Structure 1
Amino acid sequence: MNSVPANRRLWNRISSDYQHRHDPRIGAEPRLWGMYSVPDAHLGALGDVTGKRVLELGCGAGQWSRALAAEGAAVVGLDLSEAQLAAAARARGADRYPLVQGAAERLPFATGAFDLVFCDFGGLSWAPPHLAVPEAARVLRPGGRLVFNVASPWFEVCYDETAARVTTTLQKDYFGLDTIAEGDGATTYQLTYGDWIRTLIRAGLVVDDLIEPRPAPDALNGYNETEPSDWAHHWPAEMLWVTHKP
């Protein structure tokens, strides 16, 4: 399944509204992960990036890339959408790193080009993992790390499409997780925990940690409605994988 054209069209269409809604939250301070803006300082997923060659898969308006470039990383921001890249180019500090248009499942970079590849609900949510994970592994040097945050299977199987919110009732078949229709032919991807592990291992990666960020009970989800409002304090909404290439 080639979801690249439809996903590009979707993000070109929604980019302006998305940045208007979410940029103040995403860019509020450096290194904020996911739907609940959990600081990386609390999770310790990325570590020191000074002097590292870093690729962000699905950089959007570049909030993460700008922050890491300011810390001394040699960052490349990659995104599928021209509109998202244009938003990144307009932002203050965009001159600190290059922007490249491309798809996570077909990376336009040499083998071993990066010390760190990462994304926060970017390329590994919007590209087939069985294609995107091996590509990320390919462009890592030996010893390099792949770190990425995606929705938890718990979140997906409890999402009520009719009510457009996450509930405490199972709504979907866990073992049927694969593709998720996002409208206009666009697609996101989700795997079971076992399938994620197998996909990472087949790509030659070693799993160092699986962090399940737990926001405070009063933390707000900036993207989805949940019922109850403190849903993610009780069940994992996200999973942050920390891996390396031997």
Structure 2
Amino acid sequence: MDSIPANRRLWNQISSAYQHEHDPQIGAAPRLWGMYSIPDEHLNALGDVTGKRVLELGCGAGQWSGALVAEGADVVGIDLSEAQLAAAARAMGAARYPLVQGAAEHLPFADDSFDLVFCDFGGLSWAPPHLAVPQAARVLRRGGRLVFNVASPWFEACYDETAARVTTTLQKDYFGLNTIAEDDGAISYQLTYGGWVRVLRGAGLVIDDLIEPRPDAATPNGYNETDPPDWGHRWPAELLWVTHKP
């Protein structure tokens, strides 16, 4: 299934509204992960990026990329959406970096090009993982790391489409998630825990850690309504995978 045209169209349509709503949260401070904006310093997932060549898959408006450039990384941001890249270009200050229009499942970079490939609900949520993960592994240098944050399958399985919120009741089959229908024919992707392990190992990557970011009970979800409000404190809402290429 080729989801590129519909996903590109969706993000071009919603980019402005998305950035207006979420930029204050995403860009509130450097290195904030996921729906609950948990600081990387609490999770220790990304590590020191000084002097490293870094690729962000699905850079959006560049909140992450700009922060890593400021830390001394040599960053390239890639995104499927021209509108998202335009937002990143507008947001650039002194910390400038290249922006590339492209898809995570067809990376336009040479083998062994990067020390770190990462995303936070970016390319590995909006591209088929069985295609995008091998591409990320291909462009990594030996010893390079793939670090990415995606929704937990339990979060998606408990999402009540009618009520438009996450509840404590299973709504979908765990083993039937795979593709998630979004607006206007767009598709996002979801794997089981075992599915991620197989895709990562199949691409030749070593899994170093699986972090399940746990917000404080009072921390709100910045993207979804949850019932109860402390859902993410009680159950894993996200999976933060830390891997490397041996």
TM-score greater than 0.5 by the shorter chain: yes
Contact 2:78 2:100 in 1 (8 A): yes
Which range is displaced more, 87-96 or 205-214?
87-96
Contact 1:55 1:114 in 2 (8 A): yes
Contact 1:88 1:94 in 2 (8 A): no
Quick one: which amino acid aligns to residue 34 of structure 2? G
The answer for the alignment partner of 1:31 in structure 2 is 31
Contact 2:66 2:95 in 1 (8 A): no
The answer for the alignment partner of 1:175 in structure 2 is 175
Contact 2:56 2:117 in 1 (8 A): yes
CA distance in 1, matches of 2:99, 2:242: 24
The answer for the alignment partner of 2:126 in structure 1 is 126
Contact 1:65 1:77 in 2 (8 A): yes
Give unmatched runs, 5+ long, in structure 1. none
Q: How does 1:138-217 map to 2 (within 5 A)?
A: 138-217=138-217
Could you give the per-residue CA deviations for residues 128-176 of structure 1, whole angstroms, max 9, x where no partner exists? 0000000000000000000000000110110001111000000000011
Q: How does 1:78-157 map to 2 (within 5 A)?
A: 78-93=78-93, 96-157=96-157
Could you give the per-residue CA deviations for residues 79-107 of structure 1, whole angstroms, max 9, x where no partner exists? 00000000000013275211000000000
Q: TM-score, normalised by structure 2?
A: 0.99
CA distance in 2, matches of 1:234, 1:15: 31
- The SS at the match of 2:105 is coil
Contact 2:149 2:241 in 1 (8 A): yes
CA distance in 2, matches of 1:198, 1:177: 16
CA distance in 2, matches of 1:91, 1:231: 33
CA distance in 2, matches of 1:4, 1:212: 29
Which range is displaced more, 169-178 or 87-96?
87-96
Deviation at 1:32, TM superposition (A): 0.0
Contact 1:66 1:94 in 2 (8 A): no
- The SS at the match of 2:2 is coil
CA distance in 2, matches of 1:234, 1:189: 24
Quick one: which amino acid aligns to residue 217 of structure 1? A
CA distance in 2, matches of 1:59, 1:116: 14
RMSD of aligned alpha carbons: 0.7
Give identity over the alignment, percent. 83
Residues 86 and 217 of structure 1: is their aligned pair in 2 closer, same or farther, counting only changes over 3 Å?
same
CA distance in 1, matches of 2:92, 2:175: 44
Q: TM-score, normalised by structure 1?
A: 0.99
Could you give the per-residue CA deviations for residues 41-72 of structure 1, whole angstroms, max 9, x where no partner exists? 00000000000000000000000000000000
The answer for the alignment partner of 1:10 in structure 2 is 10
Deviation at 1:224, TM superposition (A): 0.2
CA distance in 2, matches of 1:112, 1:103: 18
CA distance in 2, matches of 1:60, 1:84: 5
Give unmatched runs, 5+ long, in structure 2. none
Deviation at 1:177, TM superposition (A): 1.5
